[in-house]
Amino acid sequence: MQVRPHSIKSRPRFLAALVLVPCLAGCFASPGGESSSNGGQSGSRLRVALAFPPAENFSPYGADATLLSRLGVTEGLTALDANGAAAPALAESWRREDDRTWRFTLREATFQDGADVTPSAVAAALTRATKAKPAPAALAGVSFEAKADGDRGLRITTAAADPVLPMRLSSPSLAILSPKAYGEKGNPDPVGTATGPFEIAKVNGGGSATLDRFDDYWGGRAQASGIDARFIKDGTARANAVRTGDIDIAEAIPVAQAATLDKATLKEAGTARTTSLQLNTKTGPFKDPKLRAAAREAVNSSTIVKGVFEGYADPGAGIFGPAVTWAESKRVKPTGRADAAEPDGEQIALATYDNRPELPETAQVVQQQLQKAGFKVKLEVREYSRLESDALAGKFDAFIGARNSLLDTGDPVGVLGSDYTCDGSYNLALLCDKGVDRAVTKADGTDGTGERQDAAMAAEAAILGTDAVVPLAHQQIIVGVSTKVQGVVLDPYERTLVGIGTRR
């Protein structure tokens, strides 16, 4: 599950990595994912099953931001192309006027409530995002001022030089909504106020939502007439829904269920999601680096990949896996690791969540491996929303979770800052190490694609050297898709699922 991490206090910058365009024209789709060419005729509705229900009333500022982008509801000023460069979305072009100032030219577009997308409306939406508490992940450590500049211009001035601002504005958490979406207090309401090819017509609690095609979408009419979205936590139930034909598209098919489905209904792709074991470095047994080293030596990730993921993953190599194509060639060997101590029956509390069905099974394997090494392990499994606050508060000694490292901004430095520095807000290991903070801060201040990549991998090595995190597996996407459906978007960074070319 993705949450909204804060970065370190220094401003994050972009690392040009492989990132994907959020469903502007069905990119990274299976055959048939091209833009709409049906001459405006109404297509069938799509029945889509998602693994996570909305946690914050579909607020774009939190975990629900990716739900909205995956369903084609929201979009930002920019998108990201396959090479990690900023691509046009609501802004058709931009230029940098000086170190701190950018001018964006907006395309002609309409909000789903019928209002025009104007510079003043966009400026107001971005201003509200900068004031959100907590700040959207893409803006952690960043501040700027947005002002209208003529009929189609928008000028953004950052507090500090930010050469990657166009990349940052592609984040799902910086979606542009109509002025109608913003009340005096609380999070904005995206129902009927976004700009994407599909608009939310009805939300039925946390169980389902009805979306209709937005016919005035600037990128062309979607080929599907709407989406009937269901939020189905149980992975077996999602797979069964594909098997019985009750669902057209189901995300996150459990690997245990993949073999039970017809191969023609399975779509696979690499992903930047890594399953890791986070060890509590602040309190409990794993405050001792020697016991952390013992835990790391006890874990066999190849066994987990083979036995749990059944080959739909790669063994844990680092925080960044094979989907981050430049990472392996630049990976740095961790240094400064402590010698392992004998566990001698140390009692530890291990926790994970069941929204992703592979995680409890992974936790059971890790539990057995740690027990074989001499630890006593109590395993606790909960639904993610009932687990996150306790995990962040350090109430467990160890935590197993799955994290898409490049979801928020495409910048690995940002995720290193949010997850492993003293000021990081998603620091499940509660790590506060001066050497790590120095390495991440150095990477955060590095310009140049290659130079920033090198600095990021040096910071990864510093983090791995503390044994605060043990990478277990780099996962693949498995999506169940009816043979009648074409154009599903297979996005390794999990920002998109349905595009305007998705149809049946």
Tell me if the domain spanning 270-476 has CATH number 3.30.70.100.
Answer: no
pLDDT in tens, 40-83: 445 799 999 999 899 888 999 988 999 999 999 999 999 877 65
435-480: pLDDT as tens digits: 999 999 998 888 777 888 899 999 999 999 999 999 999 988 899 9
Long-range contact pairs involving 112-116 (C-beta distance under 8 Å, separation at least 24): 112/178, 112/192, 112/193, 112/194, 112/195, 112/196, 112/199, 112/214, 113/178, 113/180, 113/192, 113/193, 115/178, 115/179, 115/180
**For residue 153, how many C-alpha atoms fall within 13 Å in the half-sphere facing its CB?**
10
The pLDDT tens digits for 370-383 are: 999 999 999 999 99
What was the pLDDT predicted at 431? 98
How does pLDDT run across 203-239, given as a tens digit for each residue? 988 899 999 999 999 999 999 999 999 999 899 999 9
pLDDT tens per residue, range 307-323: 999 989 999 999 999 88
Specify the pLDDT at position 251. 94
134: preceding bond cis by omega (within 30 degrees): yes
- For residue 249, give the nearest of 49, 106, 31 by alpha carbon: 49
pLDDT > 90? residue 351: yes
Q: Is the pLDDT of residue 34 over 50?
A: no
What residue ranges do the domains of the chain occupy? Answer: 270-476
Average pLDDT, the chain: 88
C-beta neighbour count of 279 within 10 angstroms: 29
Is the Cβ–Cβ distance between 437 and 431 less than 8 Å? Answer: no
Ramachandran angles phi, psi of 104, nearest 5°: -105, 140
Percent of the chain topping pLDDT 70: 90
